[in-house]
Amino acid sequence: MIACLLIPGFELRAALRTRPRLALVPAALAPEAGEEPLLGPVTAAAEQAGIKPGMRLGEALATCPSLVLVGRDPAAVEREWEEALRRLEDAGFAVDPVEQGAVVFETRGVERLYGGVQPALERALAAIGSSWDPRIGAAGRRFTALAAASVARSGRILIVAEKDEQAFLEPLPLSLLPMTADRYSELEGLGLRRLGELAQLPGDAVAERLGVEGRKAWRLSHGGRKVKVRGRRPASELAEALVFPEAVANELTLRRALGSLLERLLARPERAGRPFRKLALVARLVDGGSWQRTATLRDATAEPARLRAALGPKLSELSAPIVELRLEAVELAEHTGQQLALVEPAGEEAAGRLREGLRQVRVSTGTGSVCTVVEVAPWSRVPEARALVVPRDD
């Protein structure tokens, strides 16, 4: 069975960990700097005062003048989320995070350990802790589990039996489907409000009218495909931090600090000679907020000059003076080095680049996303019988 654990408003909850008093008053996550002034998640007190997530800032302040805006704290959110995932992993669940506040896992591997699905899910809830208000939905398919979690009450487990999945999905709102706002309004314009109404339409007609996105939504309204959940590989903690005695905004000082952090990170024995694939630069701002940028390298490297060139420009995006700078290795490459040939065989370089390109596509889009065309009956008069598209994971 696939389970989905959901923590609504996770970003706000994580930001309020250091200011628990604000959880009891009307408060909302402030809009992101430079983005449209729309509120993030809101507290229960704010909801009672008529504030809704996604509301315009001006409208919200007019509705509730005492509304407290909580600054975004991406570093704290990431730290808390990672801790929550690790607690689940420590309890034996192979987790696949969907986004911050939503994670999917299979119960099959731990059912015998805990004595069934229900006890296993109770263990998952306990691992997260009741202070986060987690809830769990479980079903035979991933989308149904997500939908069940979104309607489950705080601290509760909602298990949907396989035979009841379609009936369970039918009355649920279309907003559960991962679609753009334009698509929602298009569907609403057609008079569709519930998943069941979309599921009743012929799939080909939906695809013709709404394209690939509509086809996917239609498939999900039937529960979606049966796919296995692949647990993430737990990341190892590899980070270096530098605390400044006083707030720093000077770019030259920041670049020197980055150079020093890089040297220390490269010298860590846990790296075992492996080059970096992805790094995160995290800063604690003087006003108490945080700032974070990640850099994924095209070619994994451990060369200080190339790493400085990739990370250095990000320091100019800092929005305020900082009191702490932290460099984290998010992902390391598997190989420890490349054996160079004195004379490259013809075509080897192009083939190597192609392999690397496909590897990067596979990493970003998941296994099964890179395919190869195999001719099966090139002589056939029926065009679709001539070739197959086969996933290629080598």
Partner 1 sequence: MVASSGSASARRSAGRLNAPRPALVETGPGGTPRVVNREQVTLVREEWRVVDRWWTEEPVDRLYFEVVLESGRNVCVYRDREQSCWFTQNA
Tracing tokens 């086969």 back to the chain, one arrives at 390
Q: Which of 14, 4, 84, 12 is nearest to 44 (CA)?
A: 12
**Are 42 and 185 in contact, with CB atoms under 8 Å apart?**
no
Q: How far is CA 238 from CA 242, 266, 297, in A?
A: 14, 10, 17
**Residue 372 interacts with partner 1 (CB under 8 A)?**
yes
Q: Minimum CB separation from partner 1 for residue 385, in Å?
A: 8
Choose which of 176, 207, 242, 333 interacts with partner 1 (CB under 8 A): 207
249 versus 371: smaller Cβ distance to partner 1? 371
113 versus 371: smaller Cβ distance to partner 1? 371
Choose which of 13, 142, 277, 326 interacts with partner 1 (CB under 8 A): 142
- Containing 158, the helix (H) or strand (E) segment is strand 157-159
**Residue 377 interacts with partner 1 (CB under 8 A)?**
no
Q: Quick one: which segment of 149-157, 274-282, 346-354, 380-388 binds partner 1 (CB under 8 A)?
A: 380-388
CA distance 385 to 56: 53
130 versus 372: smaller Cβ distance to partner 1? 372
Choose which of 153, 163, 233, 381 interacts with partner 1 (CB under 8 A): 381
Q: How far is CA 43 from CA 16, 37, 60, 187, 368, in A?
A: 10, 18, 13, 30, 41
Q: Minimum CB separation from partner 1 for residue 328, in Å?
A: 22
98-127 residues in contact with partner 1 (CB under 8 A) are 98
**Residue 330 interacts with partner 1 (CB under 8 A)?**
no
**Residue 388 interacts with partner 1 (CB under 8 A)?**
yes
Q: Minimum CB separation from partner 1 for residue 267, in Å?
A: 34
Q: Is 69 helix (H, G, I), strand (E, B) or coil?
A: strand
The conformation of residue 383, written as its DSSP 8-state character, comes to: G
Q: How many residues bind partner 1 (CB under 8 A)?
A: 33
CA distance 157 to 116: 13
Q: Which of 269, 283, 276 is nearest to 310 (CA)?
A: 276
Q: Quick one: which segment of 62-70, 111-119, 283-291, 371-379 binds partner 1 (CB under 8 A)?
A: 371-379
**Are 292 and 197 in contact, with CB atoms under 8 Å apart?**
no
Q: Give the CB-side neighbour count of residue 65, counting CA atoms within 13 A.
A: 0
**Residue 356 interacts with partner 1 (CB under 8 A)?**
no
**Residue 228: CB partners within 8 Å, gap ≥ 6?**
106
**Residue 368 interacts with partner 1 (CB under 8 A)?**
yes
145-184 residues in contact with partner 1 (CB under 8 A) are none
Choose which of 216, 264, 271, 308 interacts with partner 1 (CB under 8 A): 216
Q: Minimum CB separation from partner 1 for residue 21, in Å?
A: 38
**Interacting residues toward partner 1 by CB under 8 A:** 98, 142, 204, 207-208, 212, 216, 225, 227, 230, 361, 365-374, 380-391
